[in-house]
């Protein structure tokens, strides 16, 4: 292999979530981000999805750093699992480190991990690669893009970004530094594609602040407002609106309490003294003087808002006349759970402010729209381009945008996770790939739930199962105890006695009529029973439950 | 009971789907619509949801008619199951009857069902109740609203509607008749609420025709266009755009073929001669001369479009440069499956025209927006109002709209399915209810899948199961054959041998250490085994599979 520079993803391409990108120059490997992803409903029972890091484990001694662009789940959620497999120094900004530390504590990893604080002005030398950074805007503070200087040229990774030209807390993006990097020449750009389908330019987070303030002025009872805890700027704007309307604030939900406390400690939030009250104080106060900031804006069934909507939150209740604000937009797939919560809040008599796609002005996206993506491409003017963070159609649309601003079509690579882009003496080729895929976390197990288990779960979930236990004599193959049949998830047992009787009779006759060559082979006999019962059940019910015959040989 | 007029829903309130409304005056019962509903992902393995019609079965001899407002699934899908339980004369318009007949044929019910053709000018006498009708616009032709004349006053049921003032095929709604009914005085209005969240006035179906024509003029390869088969006006507009651009049409997907053939036979479609070609002819023709109209716009995994997107449709393929148009908007819950298909079509190199909320102009809703709902309320000026067809928030918003046009707040009833509104001498009361609920169809079973079965399916789907079979002597309680353990959907079996060994040892020790009082009671022994194994598995895996111990007594 004469390749010196190699770039690839272990997660984040053709998907939203579980981001992980790798930049390698000769023997130096740098990893960008280590996110997790939530399973969709087809992955029954899976808790979390993380990356297959086989390649990194095989080159363990070459991995110089994990650099984390920002503190969202899809960029930090896999870190504890990653660090358990290989101890790598972690570099991130202050808030990002604060959020990573929360995770490491939970997993008992804090003491053994080397954490290094960086900011937009840092330079990190990692062997032949050196990393510099530029600040970006996003829906969490303290986000970085990265420019990797390599002997082959500069590789830029945008992280998640938008251009917010009037950011909250004057948290400006490093527009000039981006321009400088672009002017010096970018060999390869990796840029996020989440909103490649949305035309125009995203709105500033400040717009949300204005709408929140208006709603607070109009509200009569208590105010409940739900947003992502990590959207610290939005939380700050809620605090300001509360102060303006003489309301105290209670925080509900574990992540809200944790993240606000980290952000406050690290100076990202400005909370007036005596502003925060405890949940148990809420119902003792005049409703006009309270704001509850809570988790659950995506309809998560165990989060605060969901429990409030069914009157199942121990200390706090929603009363008729209270206002509930969704400062959020449902992520695709969550629409139904969110609607269910809205319905329940209406049932409690609340005034609910919700809407999709920013209709209420209570939410703006943290990701660049099409004109912003073109702006980034124009600033960086890369020779090569890999659209990242997006499903296929978004990558394709981002490719078309890159072409429109002058990147050569054959210099744009829509990759799969694991596809390696090798660049040598200015020429890029995609001809090889490394292992990549989904690793499922279920309970304590990492990777022990795979295709077979999921296929069985799916079958069980749709048709249930039927177990038949029969004991036979090892000696003469005669039936010792009559078949015993039970089912789960198939039909309601009390209604199915007739059917079970039929099944048991069929099992007996199948055994009795079996040729001796079948009867004495336990697996053949089981197979014959399974086939016969399957046929009977399908005729009777048009269903195909999993059938599990047990033969006890005595 | 001194009530004479009673109105209630057996489906369609607090939900979208499985519509069924009942109007009763003394001994005369009339049923409006008999729809089905597709289960959401929580109803594992359920094929279809229909109504609980206990009340109607108990008053079988009083049910005079089933009147069907239009031919959509959520208004006709339950008819075969209903008619199997009680043979009632069915009244509907021509196209609606045509679509009902398709269902009845499939279920072998056509011969024994009395079908009566009605139109906007019909009057149907049903004992003390007489029904007249008014034509409405919707996303299927031949829709009716109903005005029931009863001795107590007029009850109006809108069916599904919008106001399309420039309808395709000059298929105008009976605006004047609605005004006339309203002027004479409406006691009670039941009006649909599907789009109660959408401000303004919906667009005319003609808008879609214009956009389709534009896209056809620009397309270069083959054109694939997907829409609901029952949207006959849209199909007509596609036919016209195809004719204009010299393209022949192939129909893919069973429902597309069936519905187009019914609509064509009954004169609802105007298809030029030689326009239709067979699927197998598609790839033999110049791509510029073909349009494929196909099912699957909602991402249904077995429908034509899904199979085309993965190159799994036997006779037809999507080639690079072909255009695929989604003349549809994803129904909430279908977004992900639709996105997956779009991604796959892009992978095949197709140009894909898609968008949400009418962004592409290729879809308009068939349901009234807020200003149209207010227009209906204003035309009818009812004394009492029941918002129907909608989830709770939509009903609540519709209630607020009714108040805004002058209906008294206490005269508006947000009901649940089964809640009865009794009206006697002009006074309405909601104090009683009849049985109502979801009946699940699974294979041949109607109603045999209930809470217990679904709870088991859910548990099995998330954690799988573990079966332990052990045989014991009836005489002295000693173990005859060692425990045999298998699992499904829990952990990959080959990796779990150590764990199973541990389980088996635990079972043996649990039996041996059991007090004789436990050991000789099979259920107590099973319980003890279950508890012990559960604890072990949770410690080892943090999962709780279903544990099923079998004890064979010899």
The candidate with the shortest Cα–Cα distance to B211, out of B228, B199, B225, is B225
Asked if B15 reaches chain A (Cβ–Cβ under 8 Å), the answer is no
CB contact under 8 A, A448 and B491: yes
Whether residue B363 is annotated as binding a ligand: the answer is: yes
Give B223-244 pLDDT, tens digit per residue.
Answer: 999 999 999 999 999 999 999 9
Query: In the predicted model, what is the mean pLDDT of residues A390-413?
Result: 97
Residues A68, A90: Cα–Cα separation, whole Å = 7
The candidate with the shortest Cα–Cα distance to A96, out of A31, A35, A156, is A35
Give A177-235 pLDDT, tens digit per residue.
Answer: 999 999 999 999 999 999 999 999 999 999 999 999 999 999 999 999 999 999 999 99
CATH 3.60.15.10 fits A5-200+365-436, yes or no: yes
Residues across chain B:
554
Residues B512, B509: Cα–Cα separation, whole Å = 5
Whether residue A107 is annotated as binding a ligand: the answer is: no
CB contact under 8 A, A464 and B444: no
Q: Taking a C-beta distance cutoff of 8 angstroms, is the pair A481, A471 a contact?
A: yes
Quote the pLDDT of residue B480. 87
CB contact under 8 A, B453 and A332: no
Asked if A456 reaches chain B (Cβ–Cβ under 8 Å), the answer is yes
In angstroms, the separation between the Cα of residue B110 and the nearest Cα of chain A is: 23
Quote the pLDDT of residue B1. 47
Best A461, A475, A536, A553 member to test B by mutation, with max B CBs in 10 Å, is A461
Residues A21, A333: Cα–Cα separation, whole Å = 26
Best A39, A393, A452, A541 member to test B by mutation, with max B CBs in 10 Å, is A393
Whether residue B364 is annotated as binding a ligand: the answer is: yes
């909602």: which residue's tokens? B298
Query: In the predicted model, what is the mean pLDDT of residues A451-455?
Result: 89
- Partners of B40 on chain A (C-beta within 8 Å) are 336
Q: Residue A489: closest CA among chain B residues belongs to which residue?
A: B453
- Partners of B390 on chain A (C-beta within 8 Å) are none
In the stretch 210-229 of chain A, residues with CB closer than 8 A to chain B read none
CB contact under 8 A, A392 and B346: yes
Query: Side-chain half-sphere of B2: how many Cα atoms within 13 Å?
Result: 6
Q: What is the CATH number of domain B451-553?
A: 3.10.20.580
Of residues B294 and A360, which shows the higher confidence score? B294
Domain A206-359: which topology? Rossmann fold (3.40.50)
Residue A323, C-beta contacts closer than 8 angstroms, at least 6 positions apart: A215, A219, A220, A221, A222, A223, A224, A350, A351, A352, A353
Residues A259, A229: Cα–Cα separation, whole Å = 6
Residues A386, B296: Cα–Cα separation, whole Å = 32
Query: What count of other Cβ atoms lies within 10 Å of the Cβ of residue B317?
Result: 14
The candidate with the shortest Cα–Cα distance to A219, out of A147, A291, A156, A111, is A291
Asked if B332 reaches chain A (Cβ–Cβ under 8 Å), the answer is yes
Asked if A541 reaches chain B (Cβ–Cβ under 8 Å), the answer is yes
Phi-psi region of B141 (alpha: psi -120 to 50; beta: other; left: phi over 0): beta
CA A254 to centroid of chain Cα atoms? 18
Among the partner residues A45, A491, A546, nearest to B448 by beta-carbon distance: A491
**How big is chain B by its Cα radius of gyration, in Å?**
29
Of residues A346 and A491, which shows the higher confidence score? A346
Query: In the predicted model, what is the mean pLDDT of residues B406-420?
Result: 98
Whether the pLDDT of residue A280 is over 60: the answer is yes
3-class state of residue B528 by DSSP: helix
Query: In the predicted model, what is the mean pLDDT of residues A423-445?
Result: 93
Asked if A360 reaches chain B (Cβ–Cβ under 8 Å), the answer is no
Quote the pLDDT of residue B444. 83
CA A510 to centroid of chain Cα atoms? 50
Whether the pLDDT of residue A52 is over 60: the answer is yes
Whether the pLDDT of residue B127 is over 90: the answer is yes
Quote the pLDDT of residue A450. 85
Q: Residue A341: closest CA among chain B residues belongs to which residue?
A: B393
The whole-chain average pLDDT of chain A stands at: 94
Whether residue A507 is annotated as binding a ligand: the answer is: no
Q: Residue A490: closest CA among chain B residues belongs to which residue?
A: B453
Quote the pLDDT of residue A331. 87
pLDDT category at A1 given cuts 50, 70, 90 is: very low
Q: Taking a C-beta distance cutoff of 8 angstroms, is the pair A473, A89 a contact?
A: no
Specify the pairing of strand A427-433 against strand A445-446. Answer: unpaired
pLDDT category at A3 given cuts 50, 70, 90 is: low
Domains B5-200+365-436 and B451-553 share a fold: no
What tokens were used for B74? 């959520």
Quote the pLDDT of residue B338. 94
Query: In the predicted model, what is the mean pLDDT of residues A30-42?
Result: 94
Among the partner residues A343, A461, A540, nearest to B44 by beta-carbon distance: A461
Q: Taking a C-beta distance cutoff of 8 angstroms, is the pair B410, B195 a contact?
A: no
3-class state of residue B192 by DSSP: strand
Query: What count of other Cβ atoms lies within 10 Å of the Cβ of residue B404?
Result: 11
What tokens were used for A69? 């662009």
Least confident of A190-204, A475-489, B111-125: A475-489
Enter the pTM of the model.
0.90
Locate the domains of chain B by residue range.
5-200+365-436, 206-359, 451-553
Query: In the predicted model, what is the mean pLDDT of residues A507-528?
Result: 88
Give A69-101 pLDDT, tens digit per residue.
Answer: 999 999 999 999 999 999 999 999 999 999 999
Whether the pLDDT of residue A447 is over 90: the answer is no
Query: In the predicted model, what is the mean pLDDT of residues A114-134?
Result: 98
Q: Taking a C-beta distance cutoff of 8 angstroms, is the pair A353, A359 a contact?
A: no
In the stretch 470-499 of chain B, residues with CB closer than 8 A to chain A read 471, 480-481, 484, 486, 488-493, 495-496
Of residues A497 and B201, which shows the higher confidence score? B201
CB contact under 8 A, B443 and A541: yes
CB contact under 8 A, B467 and A548: yes
In angstroms, the separation between the Cα of residue A298 and the nearest Cα of chain B is: 14
Phi-psi region of A425 (alpha: psi -120 to 50; beta: other; left: phi over 0): left
Give the burial string for A12-23 (b: 16+ CB within 10 Å, else e): bbbbbbbbbbbb
């629409």: which residue's tokens? A335
Residues B294, B226: Cα–Cα separation, whole Å = 5
The candidate with the shortest Cα–Cα distance to B460, out of A385, A454, A309, A409, is A454
Angle subtended at Cα A484 by Cα A481 and Cα A486, rounded to the nearest 5 degrees: 170
Query: What count of other Cβ atoms lies within 10 Å of the Cβ of residue A506?
Result: 18
Q: Taking a C-beta distance cutoff of 8 angstroms, is the pair A3, A422 a contact?
A: yes
In the stretch 384-443 of chain A, residues with CB closer than 8 A to chain B read 391-393, 396, 442-443
Phi, psi of A209 (to 5 degrees): -55, -40
The candidate with the shortest Cα–Cα distance to B282, out of B252, B316, B305, is B316
Among the partner residues A448, A460, A543, nearest to B461 by beta-carbon distance: A460
What tokens were used for A161? 């970004």
Residues A26, A4: Cα–Cα separation, whole Å = 5
Quote the pLDDT of residue A443. 86
Query: In the predicted model, what is the mean pLDDT of residues B464-486?
Result: 89
Give B438-455 pLDDT, tens digit per residue.
Answer: 999 988 888 888 888 999
Quote the pLDDT of residue B241. 98
Give B163-214 pLDDT, tens digit per residue.
Answer: 999 999 888 999 999 999 999 999 999 999 999 999 999 999 999 999 999 9
Of residues B217 and B332, which shows the higher confidence score? B217
Specify the pairing of strand B419-424 against strand B5-11. Answer: antiparallel
CB contact under 8 A, A542 and B444: yes
The candidate with the shortest Cα–Cα distance to A50, out of A103, A105, A112, is A103
Whether the pLDDT of residue B121 is over 50: the answer is yes
């Amino acid at each position: 292999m004469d390749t010196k520079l190699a770039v690839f993803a272990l997660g984040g391409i053709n998907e939203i979530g579980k981001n992980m990108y790798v930049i390698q120059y000769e023997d130096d490997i740098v990893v960008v981000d280590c996110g997790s992803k939530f399973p969709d409903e087809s992955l029954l029972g899976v808790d979390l999805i993380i990356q297959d890091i086989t390649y990194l484990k095989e080159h363990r001694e070459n991995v110089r750093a994990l650099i984390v662009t920002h503190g969202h789940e899809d960029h930090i959620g896999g870190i504890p699992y990653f660090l358990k497999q290989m101890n790598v120094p972690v570099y991130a900004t202050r808030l990002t480190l604060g959020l990573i530390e929360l995770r490491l504590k939970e997993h008992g990893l804090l003491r053994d991990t080397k954490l290094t604080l960086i900011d937009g002005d840092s330079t990190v030398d990692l062997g032949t690669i050196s990393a510099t950074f530029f600040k970006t805007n996003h829906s969490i503070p303290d986000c970085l893009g990265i420019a990797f200087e390599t002997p082959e040229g500069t590789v830029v990774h945008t992280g998640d970004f938008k251009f917010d030209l009037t950011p909250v807390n004057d948290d400006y993006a490093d527009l000039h530094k981006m321009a400088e990097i672009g002017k010096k020449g970018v060999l390869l750009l990796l840029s996020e594609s989440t909103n490649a389908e949305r035309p125009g330019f995203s709105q500033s987070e400040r717009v949300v602040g204005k709408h929140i303030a208006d709603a607070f002025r109009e509200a009569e009872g208590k105010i409940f407002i739900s947003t992502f805890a990590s959207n610290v700027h939005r939380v700050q704007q809620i605090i300001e609106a509360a102060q303006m309307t003489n309301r105290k604030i209670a925080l509900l939900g574990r992540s809200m309490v944790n993240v606000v406390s980290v952000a406050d400690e690290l100076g990202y939030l400005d909370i007036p003294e005596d502003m925060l009250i405890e949940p148990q104080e809420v119902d003792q106060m005049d409703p006009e003087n309270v704001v509850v900031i809570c988790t659950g804006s995506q309809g998560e069934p165990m989060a605060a808002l969901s429990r409030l909507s069914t009157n199942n939150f121990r200390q706090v209740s929603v009363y008729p006349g209270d206002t509930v604000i969704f400062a959020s937009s449902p992520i695709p797939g969550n629409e139904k759970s969110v609607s269910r919560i809205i319905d329940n809040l209406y049932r409690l008599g609340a005034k609910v402010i919700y809407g999709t796609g920013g209709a209420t002005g209570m939410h703006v996206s943290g990701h660049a729209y099409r004109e912003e993506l073109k702006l980034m491409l124009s600033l960086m003017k890369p020779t090569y381009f890999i659209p990242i963070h997006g499903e296929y159609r978004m990558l394709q649309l981002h490719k078309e945008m890159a072409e429109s601003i002058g990147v050569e079509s054959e210099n744009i690579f829509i990759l799969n996770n694991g596809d390696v882009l090798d660049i040598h003496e200015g020429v890029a080729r995609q001809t090889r790939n490394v292992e990549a895929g989904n690793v499922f976390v279920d309970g304590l197990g990492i990777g022990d739930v795979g295709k077979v288990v999921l296929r069985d779960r799916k079958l069980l979930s749709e048709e249930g199962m039927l177990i038949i236990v029969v004991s036979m004599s090892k000696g003469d193959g005669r039936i010792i105890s009559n078949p015993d049949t039970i089912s789960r998830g198939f039909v309601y047992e009390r209604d199915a006695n007739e059917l079970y009787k039929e099944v048991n009779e069929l099992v007996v006759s199948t055994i009795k009529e079996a040729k001796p060559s079948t009867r004495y082979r336990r697996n053949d006999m089981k197979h014959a029973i399974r086939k016969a019962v399957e046929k009977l059940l399908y005729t009777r019910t048009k269903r195909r439950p999993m059938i599990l015959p047990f033969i006890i040989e005595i």
